[in-house]
């Protein structure tokens, strides 16, 4: 049984599709791993951010993208938020958006 992927909103998928080709290709590869391994996926592809929030860590050359996700009932994965990372640290504002959306998903 795999882990199907849903997007919190279609804008998130559009954001990801606008990433540079190298990041997008790595994202596609990592999503396939996520669909196969689910919560067993770890670094360097995925990192736990606490309280059930995780981040995918696609790279392409010098650039990186980030996509936050969580697991919901029935082995489903929801991609909550995505952005093209410009700094080493994950900006707090990006984490706030993802955590807020995760609460919405988990509370129905």
3 and 35 Cβ atoms separated by less than 8 Å: yes
Beta bridge partners of 69: 54, 79
pTM of the predicted model over 0.85: yes
CATH of the domain at 37: 3.30.2310.20
SS3 assignment, position 49: strand
Domain tally, the chain: 1
pLDDT, tens only, 36-56: 999 999 999 999 999 999 999
| pLDDT surpasses 70 at 1 | no
Q: Is residue 96 exposed (0-12), middle (13-18) or buried (19+ Cβ within 10 Å)?
A: exposed
Tell me which residue range forms the domain holding 20.
5-106
The span from the CA of 42 to the CA of 39, in Å, is: 8
pLDDT, tens only, 6-30: 999 999 999 999 999 999 999 999 9
The span from the CA of 75 to the CA of 65, in Å, is: 24
Residue 62: the pLDDT is: 82
pLDDT, tens only, 60-74: 988 899 999 999 987
């Amino acid at each position: 049984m795999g882990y199907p992927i849903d997007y919190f909103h279609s804008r998130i998928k559009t954001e990801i599709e606008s990433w540079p080709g190298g990041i997008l290709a790595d994202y596609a590869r990592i999503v396939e791993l996520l669909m196969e391994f689910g919560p067993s996926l770890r670094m360097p592809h995925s990192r736990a951010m606490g309280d059930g929030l995780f981040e995918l860590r696609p790279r392409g050359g010098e650039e990186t993208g980030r996509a936050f996700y969580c697991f919901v009932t029935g082995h489903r994965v929801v991609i909550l938020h995505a952005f093209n990372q410009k700094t080493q640290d994950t900006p707090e504002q990006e984490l706030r958006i993802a955590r807020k959306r995760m609460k919405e998903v988990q509370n129905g």
